[in-house]
Structure 1
Amino acid sequence: MRDIATQVLDWDAAGQPYAVASVVAVRGSAPRELGAAMAVRADGAVVGSVSGGCVEAAVYELARRALAEGRPLTESYGVAGESADDPFAPSLTCGGELDVFVQPMRRPASGPVAEALRVAEAARRVGEEAGEPVALVRVVRGPAAVLGAALAVYRDRHSGTTGDPARDSVVVAEARAALDQGVTGLRDVCADGTTEFTVFVESWVTAPRMLVFGAIDYAAAVAAVGRFLGYRVTVCDARPVFATPARFPQAHEVVVEWPHRYLARTPTDERTVVCVLTHDPKFDVPVLVEALRRPLAYVGALGSRRTHEDRTRRLRAAGVTDAELARLRSPIGLDLGARTAEETAVSIAAEIVAVRRGGGGAPLSTTDGPIHHETVRAVRP
């Protein structure tokens, strides 16, 4: 829901009734991820998307119905067979199936939802690393008394309630476990040993980081595509004449410092990607030694195959092990035949996405497996 936060918060602040339709489960191939959302205002205005067009009209009508009836509704959408009663029934042409939960939002029900969205949006505006992680929790299956109940859960507190403190404590514990992992999805909850219900947890954590070392022309294009993919991008170079904000307008920050020293003092995690673009051993080798010994999502280095061979020898001489070297993507990027800085950035971005999502990088026209890989979502903001 975070992608429609601005519009939803405006509606909420104006006291306008609306309903939010969220993708809470996906089976097989589907056009959008868990948490994709569409909001429909009482006067018919709509923002967002749950399927990229396949079932939007049906979800729109479901949201209107939820508003009219004043209660949450859930519907599943899949492939309509040729023998279906209604040949015009909405269906996913991609062959998957998704569950959509629609919740009418009127205060106080919208309170925790709006609060969580405000916190997530504030983090995005001031810089993700300074933002506070928050999980939005909604009861999507269970007794009518708790259906649609919402909580905003933080690491040290929460707001909202299911109506029962004991039940709340169980829900909060489940939400914090999801928040710690940075994942979004359904969780079954057993509050008193007999009453079971299901909550949908949307974890909004700080954005993953992209660290680009080397203030060259390629770095500007890589910074732009990294920002587009949802990373918080830092460009770092020891040369102040090149490392200027004016040259890298898409970077969130530009740092003048020796790359290995900056990386040594910079917090990273398993979502962080590092792109080393200087192809100069006095910069590359020290920062790669530091990077390859950290549990990062991706480490890539620009350069020719000859540069790669020389770099590998230097890294081994610096004590980097074969296991650590195996993590290095060099030459960086997928084989797209790229020549320009922009094309090279697309090549690098494609490899980062493939590593993150478990893709093979082959043309889809030559494969027969699933288009969307079954991976746990740990980003995006």
Structure 2
Amino acid sequence: MSRITTFFSILLLINAITGCTTRLPETALSDTVPTILAAANRAGIYDSRARFREVLCAVNAKHGVALPDFRPCEEILTKVSHEPAGTGVNIDLGQSQTGLTAVFVPGVGWDCFDEWLEIDEHFAEHINEYNFNLKIMNIEGLSSSQRNAKLVRDGLLEIIKSSSQEKIVLIGYSKGIVDILEAIVRYPELHEHISAVVSIAGAVGGSPLAIDADKDYLKLLTKWPGANCTEGDSGVIDSLNPKIRQSWLYSNILPDSFPYFSLATLPEKKQISLALKPSYNRLSQLDSRNDGQLLYFDQLLPGSHLLGYLNADHWAVMVPIARSHEFLGATVTNKNSFPREVLIEAVLRMISETLDEKP
């Protein structure tokens, strides 16, 4: 795939999901009171930001320098107001005793460009060193959450059957968390095998960008050079519509047999890549506290442990474009660098700690 072809493919994708409008006045991050902590209809959120910051900073200090995209810990997380003080409790950074297996459920169009991203090596190699495992769920990147829920169920049961793995952490990125939620509500037979569910930049409440997004443009992802995807049931946009997502959350009760964790992307403006500036500006018509695809308060799971707000745009947090495509990293995805291995290790260590404390 030539640089020029790649460049214009990215621009085409941007055109599919964004529009350009004038931004409304911004809200200072330092003055932000997280809506999720106060909203009555999202009661039950546990503020675990302070402890997660301790865990993340410890992982970053010991392992981060030797890994790609290192940055100081204070630049990984966005600190907003009302964050409590840390606990000071010791953090074990040795071999994990829980042996958790993270099952990563990706977002829109992932199967169209996953080989191009070479994503597996970026996550698995590091966390395997510490007795954690990682598997990436095969879903249909342009299909509805209903269709992908069945694929999540089938894939998870296959993992369990092949490895007898009972300590599974489901990690949903972007629309991936929507697919996970649909699966765990529709298929209760999965519950006994799940240790935790994590949302990372998850489209829990949908995205306003989906309201008038052009479905035909997204279908062009199937033409991406090297793509192995199909149009599926073409329900991806409807599954991200805020009205549909909010109605679903209102109508469905999440299982309470395992804990939930949320990480939202709430970047400083300077951390938004050029490619996401148009959609960032458009979402700023509603609230400038967005990651270029999602509003920050739409990313959090009801009843979850709030781990923190990440200083990364929507792609940077989980889509390593710049690592394997330097030209794009120097141009349209110029803020794509992010210490993803450190983040995933810290999340799994935080979950291990939480599960150890569970009576």
Q: Report the TM-score range of the alignment, normalised by the length of the smaller protein.
A: under 0.3
Larger Rg: 1
TM-score, normalised via structure 1 length: 0.25
Higher relative contact order (CA 8 A, sep 6+): 2
Determine which structure has the larger helix proportion and give its number: 2
TM-score, normalised via structure 2 length: 0.26
Determine which structure has the larger strand proportion and give its number: 1
